[in-house]
Chain A
């Protein structure tokens, strides 16, 4: 029996996964592609930004698939399977867009023979009907190097890939940046010597080729990958992180990443001034930098409320807003979803309020406040670490 190929589409926060997925779904050859979008955060936003209406079936899950209860990928695949059967829908492939923070090891373990044992009838059905066919990892040339240095997940996403795509290469115009891309390619080759690396901005780049059916074989990816898969299973069987013991709706399910990594959202019911939003993002990225892993959102601007602006900032970089011709859903509120690394949320809320809500504080005052709160949190966090004895 032919098993339906499942592809993981991964890459650190802001690497361009949703952009690639949109490009893919516009291709008529992908009309029979089902989509699972996993989001890290309390408000799901990506499902509004990917044209899932072009897919015959889609599911959005919040909370990181690598952290939530053991068979979450498999249970979502089982739901899709049931829905496809019920609707008589022919699905040729499934693409799972992971969160940017996803650790691929538990996801791959759940989808390969000899990985995480089946725990339910649904898991057995998934194993019978679906096969992991590939892991496609996007690497943003602007933040890729820093992400590898600072986040285990970024390095693991690269190491587990059987296809790697460099993104935002169109931003590289000066010789120094072009050299940086060369250095990054060398870094990628060290982390993953086997996966072919393509350039998303190249004229001959074919996204469809990334999702051509094949067999995903972790054994060919080296000792690091096999070690991570084995260690992940050992940790699971020892009950660490409680993936076997915890209900799926446990709010502490985000525990693979530690409390330093957080997500929160800010919403506003009335239109905002586009320049004020731009100023807010500029000040925020300048002050928070790498601790702001990503902010992404839809903004209702005062002088053009029918056409939302898609705003996106990753670490130090604020991308130019994209004008959408219409709101993707009935929800027309301005909503920003933040994913942060050790950033004080109160300071961000104050800055947001000052720039966009009440005007009772100047942006400059809030910027100063942000820096003070930030420095204090950083000092106390470091002090706590230094005081903590090793066990």
Chain B
């Protein structure tokens, strides 16, 4: 029985670790220095046909408007390619 078949299996999304990883990917892909603040939020998605939750990543460069990247997955399901594709699409 794998993890997802076991209703008694501990639920651990490892959100702090995944968030740190996500920020590191964004910093690398955008070549951002330490002055740029990256923030991550998970919100319910209201768009028809989308998954329940989307992740919004904010890139805050000094004296610039916040740039947001939206990925229609929950944080723990996001992989490097999801971030890379979002960056390429300019989401």
Chain A residues close to B by CB (< 8 Å): 105, 146, 148-152, 155, 223-224, 226-228, 230-232, 234-235, 238, 240-242, 252, 255-260, 287, 289-291, 341, 371, 374-375, 378-379, 382, 384-385, 388, 390-391
Contacts and interface: CB of A to CB of B under 8 A. Distances in A.
A384 B4 CA distance: 13
8 A-B pairs with least C-beta separation: A227-B39, A231-B58, A374-B7, A255-B44, A234-B66, A258-B44, A258-B53, A231-B39
A150 B13 CA distance: 5
Contacts of B4: 378-379, 382
Contacts of A374: 7
Nearest to A227: B39
Given A287-B7, A379-B5, A238 B68 contact: yes
Nearest to B57: A231
A379 B37 CA distance: 37
Interface of B: 4-8, 10-16, 37-39, 41-46, 50-53, 56, 58, 60, 65-66, 68, 71-75, 77, 82, 85-86, 91
Nearest to B79: A390
Nearest to B38: A227
Contacts of A341: 11
Nearest to A315: B11
5 contacts: A149-B13, A150-B11, A155-B16, A227-B58, A390-B72
A150 B39 contact: no
A388 to B, nearest CB: 5
B10 to A, nearest CB: 7
A385 B16 contact: no
Contacts of B53: 258, 260
Contacts of B86: 390
Contacts of B6: 375
Given A260-B53, A287-B8, 7 more contacts: A146-B11, A150-B13, A152-B41, A230-B58, A235-B56, A258-B74, A388-B51
Contacts of A255: 43-44, 46
A235 B37 contact: no
Contacts of A152: 15, 41-42, 75
Max count, chain A CB within 10 A of own CB: residue among B7, B45, B86 = B7
Contacts of B38: 227
Nearest to B66: A234
B43 A234 contact: no
